[in-house]
């Protein structure tokens, strides 16, 4: 069965057209992946305008480097990795990922017995937005993108122990924020009985 992909019979036909710098193929690729890739960029930089800039730079890089795609692994995964790298380059250039908060400001252990089974993805994304840029960057790379601490350290120019520390602090802060969110939701949903 041939799957139609934005006017192309197969993904390989789309890639071939992209390698010829076909503007119709570039537009088709952008329309297909821009919303997913923007979501990735937004995870690294909270400002939507900056995320859109990174997205555009990322697609320009995809178009420039399409000849390097070797059809090994997922094409979408290859694009995703470019977007992550563009986001990291932006953060490095602007030194935003180095922002930290003092360790004493993060509870060493949070109570996880509150864990709400109904936590929505939107709630989690909102909590991630509250993390300092350094924590958010390492958390995204490790927990969402699946990078190892060695890969994170190399990408960000930090030590593995710094990566591990940032991840630990991010998790502790997320747990504290989740606790606060749970308390807030319970207080909103509580309505005293009228007698």
The answer to whether 142 and 152 have CB atoms below 8 angstroms apart is: yes
Which of 96, 103, 180, 108 is closest to 138 using CA atoms? 96
- The pLDDT value given to residue 119: 54
**Alpha-carbon 195 to chain mean position:** 50
Which of 133, 130, 116 is closest to 174 using CA atoms? 130
CATH top-level class for 1-94? mainly alpha
List, by residue range, all CATH 1.10.10.10 domains of the chain: 99-195
List, by residue range, all CATH 1.10.1740.10 domains of the chain: 1-94
The fold of the 99-195 domain, in CATH, is Arc Repressor Mutant, subunit A (1.10.10)
User: DSSP class of residue 9?
Assistant: S
pTM exceeds 0.75 for this model? no
Please report, in tens digits, the pLDDT of each residue of the chain (195 residues total). 334 455 677 889 999 999 999 999 999 999 999 999 999 999 998 789 999 999 999 999 999 999 999 888 899 999 999 999 999 999 888 865 554 444 444 444 444 444 444 456 677 778 888 888 889 899 989 988 899 999 998 888 889 999 999 999 999 998 888 888 776 666 665 555 554
Distance CA 77, CA 52 (A): 19
- The pLDDT value given to residue 194: 53
Long-range contacts of 99-106 (CB under 8 A, 24+ apart): 99/132, 99/133, 99/134, 100/132, 100/134, 100/135, 100/166, 100/169, 101/132, 101/135, 101/169, 101/173, 103/169, 106/169, 106/172, 106/173, 106/176
């Amino acid at each position: 069965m041939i799957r139609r992909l934005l006017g192309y019979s197969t993904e390989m036909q789309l890639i071939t057209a992209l390698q010829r710098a076909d503007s119709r193929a570039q537009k088709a690729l952008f329309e297909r992946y821009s919303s997913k890739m923007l979501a990735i960029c937004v995870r690294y930089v909270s400002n939507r305008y900056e995320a859109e800039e990174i997205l555009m730079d990322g697609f320009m890089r995809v178009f420039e480097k399409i000849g390097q795609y070797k059809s090994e692994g997922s094409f979408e995964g290859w694009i995703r990795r470019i977007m992550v790298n563009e986001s990291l380059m932006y953060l490095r250039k602007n030194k935003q990922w180095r922002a930290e908060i003092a360790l004493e400001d993060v509870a060493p252990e949070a109570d996880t017995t509150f864990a709400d089974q109904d936590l929505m993805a939107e709630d989690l994304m909102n909590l991630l937005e509250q993390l300092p840029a350094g924590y958010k960057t390492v958390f995204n790379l490790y927990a969402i993108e699946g990078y190892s601490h060695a890969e994170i350290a190399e990408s960000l120019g930090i030590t593995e122990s710094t990566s591990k520390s940032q991840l630990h602090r991010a998790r502790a802060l997320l747990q504290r924020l989740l606790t606060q969110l749970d308390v807030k939701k319970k207080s909103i949903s509580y309505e005293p009985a009228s007698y």
